[in-house]
């Protein structure tokens, strides 16, 4: 069973954004897909991870269904057969899939190295899988090992230190700026990819946050998700005047926030320009009490954090390797557990047959004594084969020993008889 664990996936590394968008899954779609994939393709366990940067499916199946599963994604989303996403999916065997999920979950595969959000996204995907009874023994053990490894990484390395994206760097300087305010007001103007990242990073900041976007519906959707407020682009002058911090991530040919909009400024104010070309006029810094950060300054902070993270990648990879070795030992032992169970049952059958020959001739006291003695003998007899099997697993030689035990004790015949 466990050697039948595989994965298929696409990511920002090999797949265009429009293709990734076409097959993205929300919570309801994820759960529906898991149920349907079990019914149609016979998946025994499955985890579906879908973010803006990747869609990956990790699964256990008795048959090789990777190609059919990729095509099923297109069918589920109604993707045109003339432009299928299935051709972008990379297939992974058990060894590749387990290491890849470790690396993804810890942020080693993220667009922003060490991205902390991906761990939470994996936890959600795991919960959704469990909700639909699609997380079995293998996935439960794998995911809990990954979460423990993540904890070790945070405690033992500096991999997650600093702010390694422009959005997180921006929120970091904002948070320090508003620390002394009783009721700080933050406005985010423009909700493209960078603006969305800013909003996600602001969710833990203690401030009144207002979102402004050309497409009002998108602002309302994000505001509802994070508990923020919404205003109109037509009301930008008032928002700029009222806010303590304005973060602009607008795509515009010329600045939409100018020094004239800040005339009569009555409190310290920070403006953060994440746009290229710039959407905030340089002259705003000439206004008393106004601080301006541009994307280059924040990118420098992010680059410094990224470099520090790159330096500790070998430490993180060593922790991953240690966890993988431990997990693989468990997985290999699970491969031979059916043989161990059959061996125990075969010996127990022999014990009971022999007990049946004598128990009628014995007193209750003698029968109990014989029961205890024979059970003890069986436990001692089976101890060495079990230890040898587990040791063989670690050497990668379990298959040979399983074959020997099957032949010696007719375990396959025992199995067929017990199932009849």
Encode the chain in three state secondary structure: CHHHEEEEEEECCCCCHHHHHHCCCCHHHHHHHHHHHHHHHCEEEEEEEECCCEEEEEEEECCCCHHHHHHHHHHHHCCCCCCCCHHHCEEECHHHHHHHHHHHHHCCCCCCCCCCHHHHHHHHHHHHHHHCCCCCHHHHHHHHHHHHHHHHHHHHCCCCCCCCCHHHHHHHHHHHHHHHCCCCEEEEECCCHHHHHHHHHHCCCCCEEEEECCCHHHHHHHHHHHCCEECCHHHHHHHHHHCCEEEECCCCCCCCECHHHHCCCCCCEEEEECCCCCCECHHHHHCCCEEEEEHHHHHHHHHHHHHHHHHCHHHHHHHHHHHHHHHHHHHHHHHHHHHHHHHHHHHHHHHHHHHHHHHHHCCHHHHHHHHHHHHHHHHHHHHHHHHHHHHHHHHCCHHHHHHHHHHHHCHHHHHHHHHC
How confident is the model at residue 62, as a pLDDT? 86
* pLDDT tens digits for range 157-176: 999 887 778 888 889 899 99
How confident is the model at residue 239, as a pLDDT? 93
At the top level of CATH, the class of 166-307 is: alpha beta
User: What mean pLDDT, rounded, does the chain reach?
Assistant: 88
How confident is the model at residue 163, as a pLDDT? 73
At the top level of CATH, the class of 2-159 is: alpha beta
pTM of the model: 0.69
393 included as an active-site residue: no
* pLDDT tens digits for range 307-333: 999 999 999 999 999 999 889 888 776
How confident is the model at residue 1, as a pLDDT? 43
Which is catalytic among the residues 1, 35, 40, 52? 52
How confident is the model at residue 265, as a pLDDT? 75
How confident is the model at residue 402, as a pLDDT? 66
Instruction: Parse the chain into domains and list their residue ranges.
Output: 2-159, 166-307, 336-419
- Mean pLDDT, residues 34-50: 96
How confident is the model at residue 50, as a pLDDT? 93
* pLDDT tens digits for range 258-312: 999 998 877 899 999 998 788 999 999 999 899 999 888 887 888 888 899 999 9
Confidence at 398, pLDDT banded by 50, 70, 90: low
């Amino acid at each position: 069973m466990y050697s039948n664990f595989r994965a298929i996936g696409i990511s920002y590394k090999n797949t265009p954004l429009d293709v990734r968008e076409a097959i993205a899954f929300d919570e309801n779609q994820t759960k529906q897909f898991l149920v349907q994939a079990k019914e149609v393709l016979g998946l025994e366990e499955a985890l579906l991870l879908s973010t803006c940067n990747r869609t990956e499916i990790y699964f256990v199946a008795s048959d090789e269904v990777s190609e059919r599963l990729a095509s099923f994604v297109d069918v589920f989303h109604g993707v045109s057969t003339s432009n299928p996403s299935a051709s972008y999916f990379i297939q992974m065997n058990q060894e590749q899939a387990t290491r890849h999920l470790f690396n993804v979950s810890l942020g080693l595969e993220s667009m922003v190295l060490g991205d902390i959000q991906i761990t939470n996204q994996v936890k959600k995907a795991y919960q959704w899988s469990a909700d639909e009874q699609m997380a079995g023994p293998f996935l439960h053990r794998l995911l809990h090992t990954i979460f423990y490894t993540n904890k070790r990484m945070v405690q033992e390395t500096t991999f997650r230190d600093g702010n390694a994206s422009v959005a997180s760097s921006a929120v970091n300087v904002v948070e320090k700026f508003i620390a002394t305010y009783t009721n700080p007001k933050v406005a985010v103007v423009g909700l493209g990819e960078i603006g969305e990242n800013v909003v996600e990073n602001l969710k833990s900041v203690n401030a009144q946050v207002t979102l402004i976007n050309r497409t009002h519906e998108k602002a309302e959707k994000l505001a509802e998700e994070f508990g923020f407020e919404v205003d109109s682009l037509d009301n930008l002058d008032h928002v700029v005047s009222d806010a303590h911090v304005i973060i602009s991530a607008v795509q515009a040919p010329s600045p939409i926030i100018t020094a004239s909009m800040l005339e009569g400024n009555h409190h310290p104010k920070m403006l953060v320009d994440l746009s290229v070309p710039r959407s905030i006029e340089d002259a705003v810094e000439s206004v008393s009490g106004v601080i301006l950060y541009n994307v280059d300054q924040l990118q420098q902070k992010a680059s410094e954090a990224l470099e520090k993270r790159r330096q500790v990648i070998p430490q993180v990879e060593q922790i991953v390797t240690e966890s993988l070795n431990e997990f693989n030992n468990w997985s290999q032992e699970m491969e031979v557990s059916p043989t161990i169970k059959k061996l125990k049952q075969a010996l127990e059958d022999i014990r009971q047959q022999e007990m049946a020959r004598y128990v009628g001739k014995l007193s209750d006291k003698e029968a109990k004594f014989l029961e205890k003695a024979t059970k003890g003998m069986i436990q001692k007899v089976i101890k060495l084969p079990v230890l040898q099997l587990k040791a063989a697993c670690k050497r990668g030689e379990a298959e040979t020993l399983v074959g020997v035990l099957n032949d010696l004790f007719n375990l396959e015949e025992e199995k067929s008889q017990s199932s009849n």
